[in-house]
Amino acid sequence: MLCASVFAAPAYSSILSISDEAARVQALNEHLSTRSYVRGYSLSQADVDVFRQLSAPPADTRLFHVARWFRHIEAILGGPCGRGEPCGRKGRREQPQWSPPAGSPPCKLRLYNSLTRSKDVFIPQHGKKVTWYCCGPTVYDASHMGHARSYISFDILRRVLRDYFGYDVFYCMNITDVDDKIIRRARQNYLFEQYREKQPPAAQLLDDVHAALKLFSVKLRETTDPDKKQMLERIQHAVKLAAEPLERAMQSDLPAAFSSTALLAEAKDLLSDWLDCALGSEVTDNSIFSQLPKFWEEEFHRDMEALNVLPPDVLTRVSEYVPEIVNFVQKIVDNGYGYASNGSVYFDTAKFASSERHSYGKLVPEAVGDQKALQEGEGDLSISADRLSEKRSPNDFALWKASKPGEPSWPCPWGKGRPGWHIECSAMAGTLLGASMDIHGGGFDLRFPHHDNELAQSEAYFENDCWVRYFLHTGHLTIAGCKMSKSLKNFITIKDALKKHSARQLRLAFLMHSWKDTLDYSSNTMESALQYEKFMNEFFLNVKDILRAPVDITGRFEKWEDEESELNESFYDKKAAVHEALCDNVDTRTVLEEMRALVSRCNLYMAARKAARRRPNRALLESIALYLTHMLTIFGAIEEESSLGFPVRGPGTSLDLESTVMPYLQVLSEFREGVRKIAREQKVPEVLQLSDALRDDILPELGVRFEDHEGLPTVVKLGDREALLREREEKRQVRPVFQAAKLAKMKIPPSEMFLSESDKYSKFDENGLPTHDTEGKELSKGRAKKLRKLFEAQEKLYKEYLQAVQTGSFQ
């Protein structure tokens, strides 16, 4: 039952009559000390009146009866009642108003947009959906590292947008399989093979080579580019040298078969060009022009797969979109921005530029009128004097080209012809992505005239001014500081690059540079990538070793000390820094540096725990390793599904080698540990030598590394066999120097180790330990303690040396 009010009428009146508040509260406290007020109340008006006289419970701890009574009444009434407010026993305390945290503004993704030459906030046109068109290769030869520069970089950007920022990316890419380069190369290959199959006599071969050299000399004289001229001179010199043995053989009536074969191989490019000039117009079989690009497209896809580049969602080929291209050209003409001339159709740049709704040269306005660049865009087969005279302006470019003899052709309203280069992308992208796309990508060298012409003709077709919202261009690739050029034969194929380095190593090299800047493919660049891979891999292997240690379920969750809290704080700081870097134009270079710094912090933590003979926190290290694995997977640097770190696969299989063989290696390691312990106790050095040979000589051949640590279990790591063998060789080269240094140190008696350091110490005790610094001041306790530890370590080394001398281990 509830107790009655604590106030009888006399007590009520006497307390309220006291005018001094402090005295009134004191009287109330004395009154309450004799009453029961903790079980509840049947409130009277007297209770309420006395309660209203107080604004808050007294702060004086001696008046605790009043304070306790006040809070009790306050809880019943739902809070202190103001004057004139109704109070009752059914009142309840209200939930206080909640205020949201101020927080910080979210980091927005910004991309370097070639249309503005600045980093613009990325805003897709349709929510999270992103439409993206990427210029693909012109397939007439092997893919090279310049291609890798673009397609690996765009693959990284695509993965980050999709897997990190969560966009739904629809990625389209084209294959240019109709082009001046393809036509010429296909004819040349066909004509040269026919020539070789005829097995021309040595005399005829020499005559033909001399004729080809004359034509080549004309080309050489007309070349003004110094790099290209130097390349052509080297070719000319090599062919002349190759012809000399055959000429001597002919003069001496000696067998000339070998010399003919060598000359034919060396003079292939010259003869092919000569044959094409003479007979190219007679090649009429259209299948000849499709076989070459089909072969090289297949090779391109194999190269991309080997580089772990994701395939596009849609792939378009020019040869399959000719009807759409014809319709696209026709509408541009109908809109007044194109004109037919002698069977070809040209884009009227002046008419387009004069329109209020349009502007020509959005990307590189300063290059408009550059005739050299424009003619390179038109193609070698399309810049003859008669073709150039068909244009209203030298700045106009071909939408559709009338086919000449020896070129593939398709029927159209203007006669048989073939598409121009620039119109291909516009028609194919427009067909799939419509009047406006979010992203268009390509190499830096495609900005003008190719991409500027794409923009012009597409906006002429759609009559808009926003065909592309964000134009992304990957940076150039140089080779050891020199410009890479297929025409200069200064290039490295992707297949050759993959013979030297793995796809992961190449990708790491690209990740360590900004996607929009020039990247120098050199030994220094690749060495940096190799060192980064090794650094990260060692961390993953160390964490895996920690996670393999047996522990019960509750042992997985250990109490955090200051070291764990500090490491976790660093972890979250680095994650925030990674996010900011990715928002800043997908700055993977900074991301990798932040990841490196995080791993360095983890390594220090593990080393400190190891030195203290304490086990590192499994859960925290696993979380960090999983995060790093996740980021490397997003970047495409981890090719397959991996629970943690870089996966180790069996040669030519998808077998997870690590999970398969690690249990057996762990058993071998434990058995070896037991044998070593017995050998040390029984003093059997031969067994210890065999144990070391297993670790140093045998296991590296199998891609296995055992790491022995004093007083701790052996660490077992599965790695790349070639890398382990390189490490072993490096250790063997360093070992003699290291052993000599170690022996020299071991020979020093501990009593003498500090005596030579007179620049640091002025006094020593009877054991040779320093006691005073050079100024005569006594060393601090901390410094003396450190020196004592060094002294004891040297004492141990010196004893080992004396024992070795006695047993004859040192000669």
Report the alpha-carbon distance of residue 760 to residue 416 in Å, rounded. 92
Alpha-carbon gap, residue 686 to 351, rounded angstroms? 91
Which pair of structure tokens corresponds to residue 323? 């009807």
pTM of the model: 0.78
Phi-psi sector, 253: left (phi>0), alpha (psi -120 to 50), beta: left
Whether residue 409 has pLDDT greater than 80: yes
The pLDDT value recorded for residue 811 is: 45
The C-alpha atoms of residue 491 and residue 486 are separated, in whole angstroms, by: 6
CATH number of this structure's domain 480-642, picked from the four choices 1.10.730.10, 2.60.40.1180, 3.40.50.2020, 3.40.50.720? 1.10.730.10
Picking from 6-10, 129-133, 195-199, 693-697, which range would have the lowest pLDDT averaged per residue? 6-10
Taking residues 413-431, what's their average pLDDT?
A: 96
pLDDT for res 42: 57
pLDDT range class, residue 10, cuts 50, 70, 90: low
pLDDT computed for residue 22 by the predictor: 82
The CA-CA-CA angle for residues 634, 639, 644, to 5°, reads 75
Interval 783-799: pLDDT, tens: 888 899 889 888 888 88
d(CA 457, CA 720): 52
d(CA 202, CA 361): 54
Q: 313 or 545: whose pLDDT is higher?
A: 313
Buried b (16+ CB within 10 A) or exposed e, 610-636: eeeeeebbbebbbebbebbbebbbbbb
The DSSP letter of residue 9 is H
Evaluate if residue 809 carries a pLDDT over 60.
no
pLDDT beyond 80 at 471? yes
Rounded Cα distance between 124 and 117, Å, is 18
Is it the case that residue 656 has pLDDT exceeding 80? no
Stronger pLDDT, 20 or 532, i.e. the higher one: 532
**176 has pLDDT over 60:** yes
The larger pLDDT score, comparing residue 562 to residue 738, is at 562
Query: What's the pLDDT score for residue 611?
Result: 86
Domain with CATH 3.40.50.620 in the chain: 314-474
Split at pLDDT 50, 70, 90, the class of 61 is: confident
- Mean pLDDT over residues 455-459, rounded? 98
Q: With contact defined as beta carbons under 8 Å apart, do 647 and 640 qualify?
A: yes
Q: What are phi and psi of 175, to 5 degrees?
A: -120, 120
pLDDT (0 to 100) of residue 648: 79
Q: Is the peptide bond before 105 cis (omega within 30 degrees of 0)?
A: no
pLDDT tens track for 676-700:
999 888 988 898 899 999 999 999 9
* Structure confidence at residue 729 (pLDDT): 82
Q: Give the per-residue pLDDT at 652.
A: 55
What tokens does 761 get? 């110490």
> pLDDT by residue (tens digit) across 591-641?
999 999 999 999 999 999 988 888 899 999 999 999 999 999 999 999 877
When pLDDT is averaged across residues 502-520 and rounded to a whole number, the result is: 97
DSSP bridge partners of 468: 437
pLDDT at residue 551 greater than cutoff 90: no
557 DSSP assignment: S
* 568 alpha carbon, distance to own chain's centre: 24
Question: How crowded is the C-beta side of 775, counted as CA atoms within 13 Å?
Answer: 3
Portion of the chain with pLDDT greater than 70, in percent: 92
pLDDT value for 12 = 63
CATH 3.90.1580.10 is held by the domain 314-474 = no
Burial environment of residue 26 by CB neighbours within 10 A (0 to 12, 13 to 18, 19 or more): middle
Look-up of token digits 């063997």: 732
Pairing of strands 468-474, 437-443: parallel
Mean pLDDT along residues 317-334: 98
Per the structure block, which two tokens stand in for 143? 């893919």
Q: Where in the chain is the domain with CATH 1.10.730.10?
A: 480-642
Can you tell me the distance from the alpha carbon of 46 to that of 31, in angstroms, rounded to the nearest whole number?
A: 14
Can you read off the two tokens belonging to residue 528?
């940096």
Neighbours of 480 (CB within 10 A): 11
Helix (H, G, I), strand (E, B) or coil at 171: strand
DSSP single-letter state for residue 39 = S
DSSP letter at 449? I
Write out pLDDT tens, residues 72-121.
Answer: 777 777 555 444 454 444 456 678 888 888 888 999 999 999 999 999 99
pLDDT at residue 465, as a whole number = 95
CA angle 203, 209, 210 (to 5 degrees): 90
What is residue 656's DSSP assignment? B
81 versus 412: the higher-pLDDT residue is 412
pLDDT band for position 9 (cuts 50, 70, 90): low
| pLDDT, mean of residues 690-711 | 89
Residue with the larger pLDDT of the pair 630 and 20:
630
Q: Which of 477, 155, 173 is nearest to 306 (CA)?
A: 155
Pairing of strands 129-134, 168-175: parallel
- Give the integer Cα–Cα distance in Å for 152 and 773: 60
Mean pLDDT across the chain: 89
pLDDT band at 300 (very low <50, low <70, confident <90, very high): very high
Predicted confidence (pLDDT) at residue 214 exceeds the cutoff of 60: yes
Name the residue among 435, 450, 455, 471 with its Cα closest to residue 358.
455
Q: Which residues, in sequence order, are bridge partners of residue 649?
A: 656
d(CA 115, CA 553): 57
Mean pLDDT on 24-30: 83
Amino acid at 614: R
Mean pLDDT of 60-78: 78
Average pLDDT of 12-24? 78
pLDDT at 488 over 80: no
Least confident of 518-527, 623-632, 722-731: 722-731
Tell me what pLDDT residue 89 has.
44
Lowest mean pLDDT across 259-263, 361-365, 390-394, 504-508:
259-263
Q: 10 Å Cβ neighbour count for 340?
A: 17
pLDDT band of residue 32 (cuts 50, 70, 90) is confident
